[in-house]
């Protein structure tokens, strides 16, 4: 394992975040704060509690998960797409660095940035509403699994994309709607039976539900099911990356 190469890629990607601190960190935190102001005031005044938890506190896990998913995908996809766009990817591929080491460097940096962002958002949320974390270890586990798995997914999108427009397709047109419809701002128990069944087909629901359980011990689905869902997704992304490493799809052609 070439740890020096991994370290070089990791430091380079983290340095890029430092150069774009306003866009990478400040913007998502400010956006989340606005969510608390708008949803907490407008909807919170009409919905006092959900399953015994104040509405403002109830939406915290969903808002954090929304940012984690979009930022993990965005950071990882842009991180690998930019070298493809500029042509510097061939320097990396020509170096004595394996695909595994490249993935660890890029995905590790993207996951780290998302994890830092998630913790900052949690601290920001505590300024607006009372937060109680019933299971800290479980919360950290969900944070890590989500950041790693969706950074891997973003890495795949960055390899697949051949234009900046394609980088935005998945986060904007798929992930964000799934998060909004995945119980981020409500419990699916509040829905009619038909829409409750439809919501159970949304994979993001399981992430939001499991993450919310680590806070308030309330969930729309089993915590074990949530962990299994994100684990299967992680394994699926790893399998696709193994195929890319073997064939060089969109990297060597």
Domain parsing of the chain, residue ranges: 3-247
Give residue 200's pLDDT.
85
The residue with greater pLDDT, 82 or 28, is: 82
What is the value of pTM for the model shown?
A: 0.88
Give residue 100's pLDDT.
86
Average pLDDT over residues 129-148: 90
C-beta of residue 63 within 8 angstroms of C-beta of residue 199: no
DSSP-assigned letter for residue 50: E
Question: Which of 187, 181, 172, 67 lies closest to 124 in space, CA to CA?
Answer: 67
Give residue 220's pLDDT.
86
Query: What contacts 191, CB < 8 A, 6 or more positions away?
Result: 199
- Phi/psi region, residue 250 (left: phi>0; alpha: psi -120 to 50; beta: rest), is left
Rounded Cα distance, 187 and 96, in Å: 50
- The radius of gyration of the chain from alpha carbons, rounded to an integer in Å, stands at 19
Band of residue 44 on the pLDDT scale cut at 50, 70, 90 = low
């Amino acid at each position: 394992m070439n740890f020096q190469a991994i370290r070089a890629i990791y430091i380079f990607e983290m340095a890029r975040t430092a150069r774009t601190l306003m866009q990478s960190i400040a913007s998502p935190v400010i956006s989340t704060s606005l969510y608390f102001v708008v949803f907490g005031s407008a909807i919170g005044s009409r919905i006092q509690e959900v399953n015994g938890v104040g509405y403002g506190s109830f939406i915290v896990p969903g808002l954090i998960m929304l940012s984690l998913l979009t930022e993990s995908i965005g950071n990882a996809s842009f991180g690998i797409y930019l070298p493809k766009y500029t042509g510097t990817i061939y320097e990396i591929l020509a170096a004595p660095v394996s695909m595994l080491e490249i993935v660890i460097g890029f995905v590790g940096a993207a996951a780290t940035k998302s994890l830092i962002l998630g913790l900052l958002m949690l601290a920001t949320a505590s300024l607006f509403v009372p937060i109680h974390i019933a299971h800290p270890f479980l919360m950290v586990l969900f944070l890590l699994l989500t950041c790693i798995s969706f950074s891997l997914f973003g890495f795949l999108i960055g390899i697949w994309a051949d234009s900046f427009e394609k980088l935005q397709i998945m986060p904007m047109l798929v992930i964000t709607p799934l998060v909004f419809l995945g119980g981020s701002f409500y419990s699916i128990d509040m829905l009619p039976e038909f829409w409750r069944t439809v919501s159970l087909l949304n994979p993001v629901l399981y992430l939001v539900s499991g993450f919310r359980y680590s806070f308030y011990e309330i969930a729309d689905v089993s915590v074990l099911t949530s962990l299994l869902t994100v684990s299967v997704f992680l394994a699926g992304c790893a399998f696709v990356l193994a195929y890319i490493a073997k064939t060089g799809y969109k990297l060597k052609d």
